[in-house]
């Protein structure tokens, strides 16, 4: 497992077990460290129709562990409670989950349920998000915040105000100055006293990719000039008491606590200034940015890692707010954070399969029978030079002559003087020689039953790396190194960068007689945040299947509490305005029209039925490759 740095990025949830498989510790390592779920057993159960209770889902598959989600929430809460206790902070922590990180219904419902004892709330950034947050929070604690961020129109503001009528704790955070008029107007019309927050544009800037939202030129938030105007306007309409929350967000994956403290201190000063100006301030909302360690290095030197633990993060926040407020004799505010990545990343694993690996050394000397027959004088000369170099054991010259011979023969082929057999003879010879002198590229291409664009869009879009590891055979030495090539007809649909700065991944040989029936399963870890919502349907590869797995019945037991097949071809076609039912009828009708022709051509009598069932199966199946028996 050290090959894949699992102990670094995986702790405390992922490890390897004596069978060589990945084990999931759903409750982390502090609580119930003996509970382990073998990920391969989960995959077997989810995909295999023959195993007991097998669900026959198709891959790719997202396996969700709500216990991990709960552990993340509990750990975040405990980290802040510890910092508050040890530093004598005189208020509390009350976080929210930004639903944009993963809007899956069951994740949100779980978060609301798991967090209700400590009033954990939600953050929304659009109208559908506020709708889902409002309805989910009806089942949560009444004091849980519903932080309403994002660009707002009258409809959005009305929804947030309606939320207060429904006794939900909605806070309208002004991202733009113009939103204030809407809030003042609509709250009067709807006769609701709003709770208003404002998002400040901080000067503190984080320099990584995710820091582009921060700094004076950042996309969001109000400048000091705008903040002053907002305060004056609210005072003028006797609503300054409604301004209760200060929000900022310096970017995702904040690399160090030094930067964090810098930002929080600046915001705390603003908070104290708002208190001085007469707002009835209660809450400082420090946004997201609590990072996770994708590469296990804990260095904080790239976007892939952070140099702090949950406890250190919480301690830095509490200390910074406390220091500034004490200095200004301001009552300690409630600290709210909008951590998304840190809450949901760990709880889901994307499982996919390598279906083939490009073999490189397929040529044998017996393939080379065409050589020397009918080649030009020049090509024969190149061949002889190559032969001489090979006899002398001069690898460098061999490579030179290989290039020369190939180039010449390609030109001759283009001119029409060489046949495809002759060109194949040269290509085969060159491949064989390259292999014999040990100069062939040792990196293989593993074809995986996945779309990078659907399931790992951040890899394609922003070069975000995630740990990718075979989830079994970890007790066997990988024999090859490979890159992963996906199913899409797009040259960007490949993964050729891996954590640790590697350009290939150690991988096992695909083996048709192995204990896993020749199937080779890989897992992409820490992808629970952002990937699902951002993923598109390039080439019409839709969303993967999903199972929800709870630890149950003994230290290694588990139960699948929800299973959903991924989007079918019909689903993705529908999403692009096609009408699969009509398409089916059109094709079926065509088969009926041609039925006599098909019969005359020797087709079986029930050709219409064969066509219809073949079509129906294809519309209903997922668009990915059907591999092996369990995915048919
Ligand atoms: N809050 C706001 C306003 C954001 O823009 C984001 C994401 O960038 C978050 C919270 C969540 O950030 P993270 O996933 O880094 O915790």
Interface predicted TM-score (ipTM) of this complex, two decimals: 0.99
Q: φ and ψ at 209, to 5 degrees? A: -55, -40
Q: Is ligand 1 within 6 A of the CB of residue 208?
A: no
Whether the pLDDT of residue 602 is over 70: the answer is no
Q: Is ligand 1 within 6 A of the CB of residue 169?
A: no
Query: Which range of residues forms the domain containing residue 399?
Result: 365-436
Q: Is ligand 1 within 6 A of the CB of residue 286?
A: no
156-170, 198-212, 270-284, range with the lowest pLDDT? 198-212
Instruction: Determine which residue's CA is closest to atom 11 belonging to ligand 1.
Output: 288
Q: What is the largest CA-CA distance in the chain?
A: 97
Mean pLDDT of the chain: 91
Do 202 and 315 belong to one domain?
A: yes
| Cα 76 to Cα 82: distance, rounded to the nearest angstrom | 10
Q: Is ligand 1 within 6 A of the CB of residue 25?
A: no
Domain total in the chain: 3
The percent of residues above 70 in pLDDT, for the chain, comes to: 92
Which atom of ligand 1 is closest in space to residue 339's alpha carbon?
16
Q: Is residue 13 part of a domain?
A: no
Of 403, 436, 469, the last residue of a domain is 436
Do 230 and 87 belong to one domain?
A: yes
Binned at pLDDT 50, 70 and 90, residue 632 comes out as very low
Do 432 and 309 belong to one domain?
A: no
Q: Is ligand 1 within 6 A of the CB of residue 262?
A: no
19 CA from centroid of ligand 1 (Å): 39
The SS3 call for residue 247 is: strand
Of 341, 375, 392, the last residue of a domain is 341
pLDDT at 204 (0 to 100): 86
Whether the pLDDT of residue 363 is over 70: the answer is no
Which atom of ligand 1 is closest in space to residue 341's alpha carbon?
14
Which of 457, 454, 441 is closest to 567 using CA atoms?
A: 454
Binned at pLDDT 50, 70 and 90, residue 631 comes out as very low
The percent of residues above 90 in pLDDT, for the chain, comes to: 76
Is 242 in the active site? no
The SS3 call for residue 624 is: coil
Q: Is ligand 1 within 6 A of the CB of residue 338?
A: yes
Q: Is ligand 1 within 6 A of the CB of residue 206?
A: no
* The pairing of beta strand 169-174 with beta strand 196-199: parallel
Assign residue 166 the CATH number of its domain. Answer: 3.20.20.10
The SS3 call for residue 151 is: coil
Beta carbons within 8 Å of 122's beta carbon, 6+ residues apart:
96, 97, 98, 99, 108, 111, 112, 133, 136, 137, 144, 145, 146, 147
**Residue tagged active-site, from 238, 272, 430, 489:** 489
Q: Is ligand 1 within 6 A of the CB of residue 122?
A: no
Whether the pLDDT of residue 154 is over 60: the answer is yes
Tokens of 395: 């690898």
Please give the torsion angle defined by the CA atoms of residues 270, 273, 278 and 282, in that order, rounded to the nearest 10 degrees. 40
Do 326 and 409 belong to one domain?
A: no
Do 223 and 275 belong to one domain?
A: yes
Of 436, 455, 473, the last residue of a domain is 436
Do 267 and 371 belong to one domain?
A: no
Beta carbons within 8 Å of 336's beta carbon, 6+ residues apart:
93, 94, 95, 96, 145, 147, 245, 283, 284, 285, 286
pLDDT, mean of residues 260-270: 97
Whether the pLDDT of residue 61 is over 90: the answer is yes
Whether the pLDDT of residue 370 is over 60: the answer is no
Whether the pLDDT of residue 405 is over 60: the answer is yes
The SS3 call for residue 350 is: strand
Out of 287, 336, 345, 346, mutate this one to test ligand 1's pocket (max ligand atoms within 8 Å of CB): namely 287
Whether the pLDDT of residue 150 is over 60: the answer is yes
513 CA from centroid of ligand 1 (Å): 46
Q: What pTM was estimated for this model as a whole?
A: 0.90
Which atom of ligand 1 is closest in space to residue 199's alpha carbon?
3
Q: Is residue 91 part of a domain?
A: yes
Which of 362, 504, 508 is closest to 435 using CA atoms?
A: 362
> Per-residue pLDDT tens for 458-486?
999 999 999 999 999 999 999 899 999 99
Tokens of 45: 């159960």
534 CA from centroid of ligand 1 (Å): 14
Which atom of ligand 1 is closest in space to residue 342's alpha carbon?
16
Q: Is ligand 1 within 6 A of the CB of residue 101?
A: yes
Which one is predicted more confidently, 374 or 61? 61
Q: Is ligand 1 within 6 A of the CB of residue 340?
A: yes
pLDDT at 44 (0 to 100): 94
| Cα 167 to Cα 14: distance, rounded to the nearest angstrom | 41
Q: Is residue 19 part of a domain?
A: no
pLDDT, mean of residues 314-343: 98
Whether the pLDDT of residue 67 is over 50: the answer is yes
Residue 365: how many other CB atoms lie within 10 Å: 10
Out of 288, 528, 529, mutate this one to test ligand 1's pocket (max ligand atoms within 8 Å of CB): namely 288
268 CA from centroid of ligand 1 (Å): 19
Q: Is ligand 1 within 6 A of the CB of residue 345?
A: no
Do 232 and 375 belong to one domain?
A: no
Q: Is ligand 1 within 6 A of the CB of residue 287?
A: yes
Instruction: Determine which residue's CA is closest to atom 10 belonging to ligand 1.
Output: 288
* The pairing of beta strand 348-357 with beta strand 520-524: antiparallel
pLDDT at 629 (0 to 100): 47
Check: CB of residue 290 under 8 Å from CB of residue 346: no
136 CA from centroid of ligand 1 (Å): 20
* The pairing of beta strand 243-247 with beta strand 545-551: unpaired
| Cα 57 to Cα 60: distance, rounded to the nearest angstrom | 9
Q: Is ligand 1 within 6 A of the CB of residue 98?
A: yes
Q: Is residue 302 part of a domain?
A: yes
Which of 258, 321, 315 is closest to 85 using CA atoms?
A: 315
> Per-residue pLDDT tens for 3-27?
899 999 999 999 999 999 999 999 9
Q: Is residue 463 part of a domain?
A: no
Instruction: Determine which residue's CA is closest to atom 12 belonging to ligand 1.
Output: 288
424-433, 545-554, 571-580, range with the lowest pLDDT? 424-433
Q: Is residue 271 part of a domain?
A: yes
| Cα 262 to Cα 165: distance, rounded to the nearest angstrom | 38
Q: Is residue 462 part of a domain?
A: no
Do 300 and 404 belong to one domain?
A: no
Which atom of ligand 1 is closest in space to residue 290's alpha carbon?
16
378 CA from centroid of ligand 1 (Å): 65
Out of 171, 338, 342, mutate this one to test ligand 1's pocket (max ligand atoms within 8 Å of CB): namely 338
Check: CB of residue 199 under 8 Å from CB of residue 221: yes
Q: Is residue 32 part of a domain?
A: no
pLDDT, mean of residues 298-318: 93
Binned at pLDDT 50, 70 and 90, residue 516 comes out as low
Whether the pLDDT of residue 161 is over 80: the answer is yes
| Cα 353 to Cα 60: distance, rounded to the nearest angstrom | 7
Q: Is ligand 1 within 6 A of the CB of residue 218?
A: no
577 CA from centroid of ligand 1 (Å): 32
Which one is predicted more confidently, 591 or 348? 348
Which atom of ligand 1 is closest in space to residue 98's alpha carbon?
10
H or E, element range at 158: helix 154-165
Do 267 and 403 belong to one domain?
A: no
Strands in 219-361 per DSSP E: 243-247, 283-285, 334-336, 348-357
Length of the chain: 632
Q: Is ligand 1 within 6 A of the CB of residue 149?
A: yes
Do 293 and 413 belong to one domain?
A: no
Classify residue 213 as exposed, middle or buried by CB count within 10 Å of its CB (0-12, 13-18, 19+). buried
Do 247 and 383 belong to one domain?
A: no
Helix axes 224-236, 257-276, angle to 10 degrees: 30
180 CA from centroid of ligand 1 (Å): 23
Do 184 and 230 belong to one domain?
A: yes
H or E, element range at 197: strand 196-199
Which of 177, 144, 146 is closest to 162 using CA atoms?
A: 146
Which atom of ligand 1 is closest in space to residue 101's alpha carbon?
14
55 CA from centroid of ligand 1 (Å): 36
2 CA from centroid of ligand 1 (Å): 32
95 CA from centroid of ligand 1 (Å): 12
Q: Is ligand 1 within 6 A of the CB of residue 623?
A: no
């Amino acid at each position: 497992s050290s090959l894949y740095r699992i102990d670094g990025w995986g702790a405390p949830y992922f490890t390897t077990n004596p069978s060589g498989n990945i084990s999931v510790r759903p409750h982390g390592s502090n609580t119930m460290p003996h509970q382990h779920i073998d990920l391969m057993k989960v995959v077997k159960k989810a995909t295999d129709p023959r195993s007991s209770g097998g669900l026959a889902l198709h891959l790719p598959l997202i396996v969700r562990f709500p216990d991990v989600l709960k552990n993340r929430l509990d750990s975040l809460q405990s980290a802040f409670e510890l910092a508050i206790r040890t530093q004598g902070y005189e208020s509390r922590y009350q976080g929210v989950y930004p639903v944009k990180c993963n809007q899956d219904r069951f994740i949100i419902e779980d978060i609301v349920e798991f967090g209700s004892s400590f009033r954990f709330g939600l953050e929304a950034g659009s109208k559908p998000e506020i709708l889902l947050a409002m309805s989910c929070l009806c089942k949560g604690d009444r004091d849980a915040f519903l932080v309403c961020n994002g660009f707002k129109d009258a409809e959005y503001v009305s929804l947030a105000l309606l939320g207060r009528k429904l006794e939900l704790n909605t806070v309208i955070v002004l991202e733009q100055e113009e939103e204030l008029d809407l809030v003042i107007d609509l709250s009067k019309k709807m006769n609701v006293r709003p709770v208003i927050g404002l998002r400040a544009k901080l000067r503190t800037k984080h320099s990584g990719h995710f820091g582009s939202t921060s700094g004076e030129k950042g996309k969001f938030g109000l400048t000091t000039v705008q903040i002053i105007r907002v305060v004056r306007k609210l005072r003028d309409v006797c609503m300054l008491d409604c301004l209760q929350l200060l929000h900022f967000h310096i970017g995702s994956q904040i690399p160090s606590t030094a930067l964090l403290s810098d930002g929080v201190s600046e915001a705390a000063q603003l908070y104290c200034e708002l208190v001085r100006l007469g707002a009835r301030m209660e809450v400082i909302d420090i946004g997201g940015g609590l990072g996770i360690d994708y590469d296990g290095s804990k260095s904080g030197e790239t976007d892939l890692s952070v140099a702090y633990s949950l406890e250190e993060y919480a301690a830095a926040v509490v200390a910074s707010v406390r220091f500034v407020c004490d200095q200004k004799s301001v009552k300690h505010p409630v600290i709210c954070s909008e951590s998304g990545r840190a809450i949901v990343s760990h709880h889901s694993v994307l499982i996919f399969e390598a279906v083939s690996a490009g073999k490189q050394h397929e040529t044998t000397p017996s393939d080379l029978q065409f050589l020397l027959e009918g080649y030009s004088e020049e090509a024969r000369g190149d061949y002889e030079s190559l032969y001489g170099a090979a006899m002398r054991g001069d690898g460098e010259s061999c490579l030179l002559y290989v290039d020369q011979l190939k180039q010449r023969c390609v030109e001759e082929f283009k001119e029409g003087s060489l046949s495809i057999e002759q060109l194949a003879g040269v290509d085969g010879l060159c491949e064989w020689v390259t292999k014999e002198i040990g100069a062939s590229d040792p990196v293989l291409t593993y074809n995986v039953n996945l779309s990078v664009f659907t399931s790992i869009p951040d890899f394609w879009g922003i070069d975000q790396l995630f740990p990718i590891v075979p989830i079994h055979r970890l007790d066997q030495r990988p024999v090859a190194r490979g890159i992963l090539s996906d199913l899409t007809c797009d040259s960007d649909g490949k993964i050729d960068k891996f954590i640790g700065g590697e350009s290939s991944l150690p991988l096992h040989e695909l083996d048709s007689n192995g204990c896993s029936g020749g199937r080779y399963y890989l897992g992409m870890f820490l992808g629970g945040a952002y990937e699902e919502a951002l993923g598109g349907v390039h080439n019409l590869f839709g969303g993967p299947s999903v199972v929800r797995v709870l630890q149950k019945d003994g230290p290694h037991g588990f139960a699948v509490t929800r299973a959903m097949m991924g989007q079918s071809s019909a689903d993705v076609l529908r999403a692009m305005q096609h009408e699969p039912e009509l398409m089916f009828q059109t094709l079926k009708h065509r088969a009926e029209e041609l039925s006599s022709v098909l019969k005359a051509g020797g087709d079986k009598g029930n050709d219409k039925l064969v066509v219809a069932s073949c079509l129906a199966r294809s519309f209903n199946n997922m668009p990915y490759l059907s591999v092996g028996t369990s995915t048919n």
